[in-house]
Amino acid sequence: MRFRAPRQQDDDLRLELTSMTDIVFLLLIFFMVSTTFVDLSRKLDIQLPDTQAADVVQDVQRHVVELSAQNTLRLDGVDIELSELTAQLKQRAGKARHHSVEIRADKRLPYGRVIAVLGHIRQANIQDIAVAVR
């Protein structure tokens, strides 16, 4: 009968870290991919109305008109009065060939307020008008 010589305990203790680093990197990639990015362009608390059919707007240079439920009006993030909207849009348009405006209006606003803003945009000779929906 053959007996093995007793082993020393130091020979049996080896810590394999290869699989541990693989798991750490996989978790890191998972959390990076699954992170939700915050929409920093939204500055006013606006609840957009829902729609079933909406056109996807490609990368187009445009101005953004925001209307909050508290009747705050902003053009490209700057507070303005409704009476100043047409002049500001004409001034910012300059000699641009493709000029468009996106309206981000809160759904709790009266319909007439949005129509008034549309009228001022049309007075600035802007034909390309988009309304943001969710």
Q: What is the CATH number that goes with domain 61-133?
A: 3.30.420
Cross-strand bridge partners of residue 4: none
CB-count burial class (<10 Å; 0-12, 13-18, 19+) for 11? exposed
Which residues have a Cβ under 8 Å from the Cβ of 116 and sit 6 or more positions away? 82
Q: What pLDDT score does 10 carry?
A: 55
Cross-strand bridge partners of residue 101: 63, 129
Q: Is 18 helix (H, G, I), strand (E, B) or coil?
A: helix
Number of residues assigned to the chain: 134
Q: pTM above the 0.85 mark?
A: no
pLDDT along the chain (134 residues), means of 10: 64 75 90 68 68 56 82 86 85 72 86 87 83 79
CA 94 to chain CA centroid, Å, is 27
User: How many C-beta atoms lie closer than 10 Å to residue 85's C-beta?
Assistant: 21
Q: What pLDDT score does 24 carry?
A: 92
DSSP class of residue 31? H
Domain locations in the chain? 9-40, 61-133
